[in-house]
Structure 1
Amino acid sequence: MSNFDYYEDFEALLNEYMPVKEDEEIKTKVTGTIVNMDRNFTYLEVPGEPKAVRVRTEELTGYAVGDEVEVLIVSQAEEEDSLVLIGSKKRIDMEIGAEKLEKALQNHEIITGKILKRVKGGYIVEVYHQQGFLPNSLSEIPADQGDSFIGKELSLAVKEVKEDKKGKKILLSRKEIVVAKELEAIDKLTLGEVVKATVLEVLDFGLTVKLDEARGFIHISEVDWKKTSDLHKLYKAGDVIEAKIIEIERDKRNVKLSIKSLTKNPWDIVAENNSIGQEVTGKVTRIVNYGAFVELLPGVEGLIHSSDFSWTSKKVNVNNFVKVGDEVKVVITDLSPKERKLKLGIKQLSSNPWEDAENKFAVGTILTGTVVEVKPFGIFVQVEEGVDGFI
């Protein structure tokens, strides 16, 4: 399908400056003096021409009575039992504009156009007093921002100029200009560079940002070392932030950035300052059915498994040991920063009572204990905290 097929829906718009049928026999250019202007029509006096020349006032914005103006005579009409010539200043402007468009097309020049209206498939744009079509695919305008561009002037390239029985049709593009500016901006960036960026859009999974003429993206996982769940609470469009460039894909016009990379990885800090077997203090952040999570640094959480709360209790109710928000002492039992794996324990703060049980409770040793449970088949006696004996 040709790009010009999009014109089917707004053919009338392209021909709206053709209010009367033209008379090819009298079409000529004349210069006249404005003698009268009203809301709808302006009348010119042309030397040597007995008939008045009438022009639509809307075509003479900026002119006043007494000014000279060149117009194109396109037809004649009866007005109060006399003939008047119908002139058009816009037609001359359009002819000059057509020449400029052809020149821009041949020389690949950048022109300026004003977006008039959003239509099916793209935008109607005024260029050199003529209307052209800017398809969505060549506009580089986000679909959800299209209405905000109405009335704006943009730099454009002329892709094609076609003329048929219905008039001149102009195909425009903004893509080449935007892409060239983006690539130029990307080429100025350096991997690892810290830059200032403006937030364009806050998404559920990240931030789209602007770096001068280039665009970038910050994935939600690169916002903070801690898990981030709702970016809308942290950022809004227009916010200016600092971030580090972590990847540049020039062919895809893609720049990836990271906010969390501006600070040292807390896992590296934990690894540098701590080791397995060391006692540390942390804050309980979550309790689950299999244990509790404790935060040592923002972004670094370790798990105390339910089996690591007590040496002797097989069934542990975690809520009996800790609550969310508690500051607790724990022992590091496993630390793998690269895998972000951290295991902690509370029972390791004390010695395992069963480790030297064979010596402390050797056969033949006389013990004193407290009866803790009586069963039909015998008695359970606590001989030491965490150690029961059976009679």
Structure 2
Amino acid sequence: MLTPRGAERLEYLRGLRYGDVVTGVVVKIADFGVTFVELGGVDAMMNIPEVSWRPLDSPADVLREGEERAFTVLSVEIAEDGDGRDRISLSLKDLHPDPMREFARDGLGRTLRGTVTKEVPFGVFVAVADGVEGLLHHDVLGGLRPAVGDGIEVTVTGVNVVNRQVRLAPARPTGS
């Protein structure tokens, strides 16, 4: 494929808008979490938080080099000096429903069985729905010390969609 140059490239870049859906080919998944995508001869990039609503270790968990996919345009920065260091930022997750918003509709107050996914100094994260994890803080655990992989019953005590946070408490008092 020929790479657009000069006025043709500039016209293409100026035509891109926030929210546009574009088709591109994944050309490189970098070790540091950035995915490079070729859009008809123009390079674009996508940071790991834009790949999926679900936590990922690497974009390679979802994407493969050489794969053609649809993306949304997040931003376009055109270099003033025309040196070709223009920047197009993309998102893949924007094309999919946000599981946190779906969970927020009826999650508050529910008692659920989840799986501990990560231990942190202040508690543990528990997967409570597909693509949704909540924090079970040490302050509410009492003597309970769940480990990664443990199943645990929790009650959803708070949901903040903007900050993407779910607060949890053990479903049963820690003494029972």
Equivalent in the alignment of 1:301: 133
Give 1:286's aligned residue: 118
Residue 218 of structure 1 corresponds to which residue in structure 2? 46
TM-score (norm 2): 0.78
Which one of the candidate residues 132, 152, 155 is aligned to 1:331? 155
- Report the CA distance shift for 1:330/1:264 in structure 2 as closer, same or farther (over 3 A): same
8 Å contact kept, 2:29–2:59? yes
Q: Which amino acid aligns with 1:208?
A: F
1:237 partner SS: coil
**1:185 touches 1:212 (CA, 8 Å); kept in 2?**
no
Work out the CA distance in 2 between the residues paired with 1:229 and 1:235.
12
Match of 1:341 in 2: 165
The structural deviation recorded for 1:306 is: 2.8
Provide the residue aligned with 1:263 in structure 2.
Answer: 96
Task: Give the fraction of aligned pairs with identical amino acids, expressed as a percent.
Answer: 26
Can you list the C-alpha shifts for 1:99-146, whole angstroms capped at 9, x where unaligned? Answer: xxxxxxxxxxxxxxxxxxxxxxxxxxxxxxxxxxxxxxxxxxxxxxxx
TM-superposed CA distance for 1:263, in Å, is: 1.0
Cα shift at 1:290: 4.0
Which residue matches 1:142? none
CA distance in structure 1 between the partners assigned to 2:96 and 2:63 by the alignment: 19
More helix by share: 1
The 3 A distance-change label for structure 1 pair 337 and 268 is: same
Give the 3-state SS of the residue equivalent to 2:139 in structure 1: helix
AA matched with 2:11? E
Cα-to-partner distance string for 1:40-67 (whole Å, 9 max, x where unaligned): xxxxxxxxxxxxxxxxxxxxxxxxxxxx
Secondary structure of the 2:162 match is helix
Q: Which of 239, 244, 265 is matched with 2:72 structurally?
A: 244
Tell me by how many angstroms 1:200 deviates: 2.2
Q: Which amino acid aligns with 1:305?
A: H
SS in structure 2 of the partner of residue 339 of structure 1? coil
Matched, 1:274 2:107: yes
Instruction: Return the letter of the residue paired with 1:279.
Output: T
Q: How does 1:154-169 map to 2 (within 5 A)?
A: none
Q: Does 1:202 align with 2:29?
A: yes
Residue identity opposite 2:5 in structure 1: V
Deviation at 1:228, TM superposition (A): 2.3
Gaps of 5+ in 2: 80-84
1:262 counterpart letter in structure 2: L
| Structure 1 position 254 matched with structure 2 position 78 | no
- Aligned partners of 1:208 and 1:215 also within 8 Å: yes
Does the 8 Å CA contact 1:201/1:207 hold for their aligned counterparts?
A: yes
User: Greater relative contact order (Cα 8 A, min sep 6): structure 1 or 2?
Assistant: 2
Contact 2:116 2:127 in 1 (8 A): yes
Q: Which amino acid aligns with 1:215?
A: D
Q: Which amino acid aligns with 2:153?
A: K
Who wins on radius of gyration, i.e. which is larger? 1
Shift of 1:197: 0.5
Question: For residues 35 and 121 of structure 2, what CA distance do their matches in structure 1 show?
Answer: 35
Question: Mean alpha-carbon deviation: is it higher for 242-251 or for 330-339?
Answer: 242-251
- Give the whole-Å Cα distance in 1 for the aligned partners of 2:155 and 2:24: 42
Count, aligned residues: 169
Q: CA deviation at 1:259?
A: 0.7
Backbone CA RMSD of aligned residues: 2.9
TM-score by length of 1: 0.38
Q: Which runs of 5+ in 1 are unaligned?
A: 1-153, 156-176, 311-315, 353-384, 387-391
The residue aligned with 1:180 is 7
The 2-side partners of 1:287 and 1:215 are apart by: 38
